[in-house]
Every structure is written in structure tokens, then in C-alpha cells.
Structure 1
Amino acid sequence: MSGSGRTDDGHGRLGSTLSGLAVAVGCVLFLGGFAWGAVVYKPYTVPTESMTPTVNAGDRVLAQRVDGGEVHRGDVVVFKDPAWGDMPMVKRVVGIGGDRIACCEKGGRLTVNGKPIEEPYLQTKGLASVENFTADVPKGQLFLLGDERSGSLDSRFHLDDPGQGSVPRSAVQARVDAIAWPMNGMVERPKAFAALPGGVSVPGPLKLQISAVVAGVVLILGGVAYGPIAARSGRNRRGQGGRVPVGAR
């Protein structure tokens, strides 16, 4: 009888220890994921429809804080340049220093260094620009277009400025990784730019951060639930151990 009691108490202590450990690890993952995300990402509200349908006016996006030197073609970036206004703007990078951007080729597509670019994200399918243009992007600069090409005020409207409509890499504040509200998911890197020298940028750590937060919640809830279950199980064992079998009376 006493040996059985000690075993049940040991089981209860083990259950309590495992429960506490799960909650502790869960808190580390949950809080660590949020803290990591707060350091790496910054939320922005998109002010205009110039990036429709990829991002709509009023959408809340999560943008990874990056240096302008990390930006690749195809990235959707948040930038601020005095020549474009006093507020942060969101556009897509279609050209980097040394590129020759032209539009439109026979099929209505944008070309980068003579290579036609498929742009499935455009609002106006099959037409990269409502007006023809060419631009040579200076070193250290970025050429930016909106995905809603019929109404976006982008590099095409600054072609007469120094740099032919491009902005310095230093103007970039962040790179958009996901649309947080409404929850439309990750902003994909365009495959068409991957074949060009330099390729496309590597996705940020947002998915890993979300996984850490979710795993933390699961461990916390599981640990909190397991404690009472283990205690109840121990009480049931002790209760069964203390009964005298009918045949032994």
C-alpha cells in the first residue's frame, strides 16, 4: 500500500515537472517569436491603390527592415524620397543600377536588358505600361513601378529627373514580406526576375517567427492542461490502490 502511494506521488511530481517545463519553453518561444518579429519587421499601412492587386489601399503589411544594398529586382519595397513626396511609398523594384528598362516590346511586356519579363501580378494583364518608355538606371539606384500600371505614379513620371526616375538604394526603409490585414499571406518573389543576374531576394524569417509563436501557444496550453490531468490520474490510482478486493473479505 505504501509502495503504491509513493509510486503515485512520483507520477504526480513527474507530471507537474513536465507541465511546468512545457509552459516555460512555450513562454520562451511565444515571447521570443514576438520580440524577434518586432525587431525584424515593421508594420505599414499602404496609402494608395498603386500596388493593386498585390496590395490594396488600406492594407496593413509587414515589411522587413533591410538595407538598400539587400534589395533585388522584384522586391516590393517601402521607401521615402523627397522628389516623390514626404510620405513612405510602396512600389516594386523592376530595375537596379546598370539595367536598361524599356517598354513595351511586341507582346506588351516590360524588358530588362532586352529580356522580356512576365509579370503575372499586374492589374492590367498583358500590358506592362500604358505608355512606352526607356530608362538607364544609374549605379546605386533603383527603378520602381506600381503593379497598377494604368494609374501608378512611379518612376515613369520622373524620367526627366536626374537618374531617369530612379531612387537611391539608401531611400529604401523595408521590404514587404506579407499582408497582415486582411490576412492575404506572403508576398511572393516573382520568378521572372530569378533568371537575371543577382536573382531574387531570400524570403525573410516571418514564417519561422510565426511557427515559434504557434508552437509556444501549443506548449503553454498543453502544459496547463496536462497538470490537472496528471494530478487527477494520480488520485484515481491512489483511490484504486486503497480498495479491498471483495474476495478478500
Structure 2
Amino acid sequence: MSGTTKNRDGHGRLGSVLSGLAVAVGFLLFLGGLAGGALLYRPYTVPTGSMAPTLDVGSKLLAQRIDGDEVRRGDVVVFEDPLWGQATMVKRVVGVGGDTVACCGTDGRLTVNGAPIEEPYLPTGTAGPARASTEDFTATVPADGLFLLGDDRITSLDSRTHLDDAAQGSVPRSAVVARVDAVAWPLPGGLVDRPAAFAALPGGTSDPGPVTLLLTAVAAGTALILGGAAYGPLATRPRGRGKSAGEKVKA
């Protein structure tokens, strides 16, 4: 009997050590993911429907804190420009310094430096994709400027509204405070895609930040904490009555 008891105690001690280790690692992953998210990202709530259907009103976003120099065509950015009012806004970058942005081409598409841009987020009707803009325009983006449009071209107040400004509707790169990487709510959320048509232009598109890695760390940490904490009650739960040491057994 002493050998059996010793064996059980050994397994119990090992289980307790592994349980404690799982909880400790879980806390490191969980807190590391949260701390990294707080440092690299800022939460943002979409105030209007100007970015629908990509971003609906009230959507909760994770926007990476970046410098304006890191912005590429196709990015959805959060920016603040006094000439556009005091509100924090979110729009898609369709042109950068030196670009000529125009609409619309013969097929109703937006063009950047004469190249037509396929925009999959625009609505499609029975007659084909909608025009990229309800009104025609041509604008040259100044150096260090960004030309911004909402994905809902009917309701969005964007660079087209400011075409008569000195910068022809562009905002300086320094106005950007963050780049939207992912939708956190409503579920299932997910990463915000960069259209392939922008990737084909010089400079390409940007890569998402470490949002997936950070969310995975938080999820894995939560699982380890819960699993490790549950081990104790499960390990000490009675497994049924055995025969006592003094109970007689018939031959």
C-alpha cells in the first residue's frame, strides 16, 4: 500500500506543479497581449456610415498607432485635420503624394495615375459595379499628402468635398494618428483587407501590424489560466469508495 500511496502523491505533486506553471505562463501571455495591444493600438468607434460596408456604424476597431510616413494606398486610416473640422475621422487612402486621382474612367472606376482601380467594397447592381464617385473629379496630390475617400461614395464627406482647398482635398501625412488593422466588434470581426489593385501600384500596400499575434496571446493565456485553475478541483474530486484497510474480503 505504501508504494501505491507514494505513486499517487507523486502524480499529484507533478500535476500541481504543471497546473501552477500553466497558470503562470497563461498570465504572462494574457498580460503581455493586453500590454502590447495598449502600447501599439488604440480603440476607435466608427461614428458614421461613410465607410460602409467595410466598417459599419458603431463598429469597434483596433487601429495601430503609426507615423504618417508608413501609410500606403489602400490603408484605412484614422486622422485629425483642423481644415476638416475637429472630429476624428476614418477614411481610405486612395492616393499619395504625386498621384493624380480621377473619376471616372470609361467603366466608372477610379483611376490613379491613369490606372483603373478595382474596388471590391463598392456596391454591385444588376448593371455591374457602381460608379466610384457620383461626381467626376481630378485632383493632384501634393507631396506628403494623402487623398482620402469613404467606401460609401454616396454619403461620405471626404477629399471630394474639399477639392477647392489649396491642397485639392488632400490632408498631410502628419494628420494620421492610426491605421485600422482589424474590426473587434461586431463578431466575427477580422482583419481589414488592402485591395489587390493598390498592391500593383508603385510602393505596394502595407502589412497589418501584430494584432493577430496579440489576440492569439490573450486567447491562449486565457485558456491556460482556466485550464490550470480547473486542475485542482478536478484532481481532488472523489473517485468513488474503495475498500477500507480494515474491511474483510471473503476468499
Q: TM-score, normalised by structure 1?
A: 0.91
After TM superposition, give the deviation of residue 148 of structure 1 in Å. Answer: 1.0
Letter of the aligned partner of 1:216 in structure 2?
Answer: G
Q: Tell me which residue corresponds to 2:200.
A: 195
* Aligned equivalent of 1:12: 12
Question: Once the two structures are superposed, what CA deviation does each residue of 1:129-153 show, in whole Å capped at 9, x if it has no partner?
Answer: 1111111111111000111112211
8 Å contact from structure 1 (residues 42, 65) kept in 2:
yes
Provide the rounded CA distance (Å) in 2 between the counterparts of 1:229 and 1:130.
64
How much does 1:241 deviate?
A: 10
User: Any idea what SS the aligned residue of 2:232 has?
Assistant: helix
Q: Which residue number in structure 1 is paired with residue 179 of structure 2? A: 175
Alignment partner of 1:224 is 2:229: yes
The 5 A counterparts of 1:105-124 are 105-123=105-123
Measured at CA, do residues 240 and 36 of structure 1 come closer, stay the same or move farther in structure 2, by a change above 3 Å? farther
Give the TM-score normalised by structure 2: 0.90
**Between Structure 1 and Structure 2, which shows a larger proportion of helix residues?**
1
Q: C-alpha displacement at 1:39, in angstroms?
A: 1.2
Q: Cα deviations across residues 201-237 of structure 1 (Å, max 9, x unaligned)?
A: 10121111111111111111111122333345xx769
Cα drift, residue 126 of structure 1: 2.8
Task: Find the counterpart in structure 2 of residue 150 from structure 1.
Answer: 154
Deviation at 1:35, TM superposition (A): 1.4
Are the aligned partners of 2:123 and 2:130 in contact in 1 as well (CA < 8 Å)? Answer: no
Alignment match, 1:59 = 59
- Report the counterpart of residue 131 of structure 1 in structure 2: 135
Distance 1:159 1:12, change over 3 A: same
Structure 1 counterpart of 2:33, one-letter code? G
Q: Contact conserved, 1:138 with 1:163, CA < 8 A, in 2?
A: yes
- Residue 97 of structure 1 deviates from its aligned partner by 0.7
Aligned AA (1:84): W
Query: How far is the alpha carbon of 1:103 from its aligned partner?
Result: 0.8
Match of 2:44 in 1: 44
Q: 1:243 to 1:52 in 2, by over 3 A?
A: farther
Q: How far apart, CA to CA, are the structure 2 residues paired with 1:195 and 1:241?
A: 78
Q: Which residue number in structure 2 is paired with residue 28 of structure 1?
A: 28
Tell me whether 89-98 or 38-47 shows the greater mean CA deviation.
38-47
Q: CA deviation at 1:23?
A: 0.7
TM-superposed CA distance for 1:57, in Å, is: 2.4
Cα deviations across residues 14-71 of structure 1 (Å, max 9, x unaligned)? 1110010011111111111111111111111222221111112222222111110111
State the SS of the aligned residue for 2:42.
strand
Per-residue CA shift, 1:183-206, capped at 9, x if unaligned? Answer: 232211111101011111101211
Aligned equivalent of 2:79: 79
The whole-number CA distance in structure 1 between the counterparts of 2:220 and 2:248 is: 46
For residues 122-180 of structure 1, the C-alpha deviation after alignment (integer angstroms, 9 at most, x for no partner) is: 24743101111111111111000111112211111111212211110000011112222
Contact 1:107/1:126 (CA < 8 Å) preserved in 2? no
Q: Secondary structure at the match of 1:177?
A: strand
1:80-99 paired onto structure 2 within 5 Å: 80-99=80-99
Specify every segment of 5 or more residues in structure 1 that has no aligned partner in the other structure, as ranges: none
SS in 1 for 2:184: strand
Following the alignment from structure 1 to structure 2, what is the Cα–Cα distance between the partners of residues 245 and 117? 88
